[in-house]
Structure 1
Amino acid sequence: AKTAADLLFVDRFRALGCRVEVATEDGSAGRLGLASEVAAALLEEGGVQALAACGPEGLLEAVAALGRRWDVPTEVSREAYMRCGIGVCGSCARDGRLVCKEGPVFRVHPAPAREAEGPMPHLPHLEVVPLAPKG
Structure 2
Amino acid sequence: MNLAHIDNPAVSGTAASRVSRLARLVRLGVMACLLAAGGAEALAHQQERGRRDDSAQMRERYQMQAQAQDARFEQRAQEMREEQRRAIEAQRESMGSERRGGRMTPDERRDLRRQIRESGADVYPNAQRR
Normalised by the length of structure 1, the TM-score is 0.18
Q: Which has the higher contact order (CA 8 A, sep 6+)?
A: 1
Q: Which structure shows the higher strand fraction?
A: 1
Q: Which structure shows the higher helix fraction?
A: 2
The structure having more radius of gyration, on CA atoms, is 2
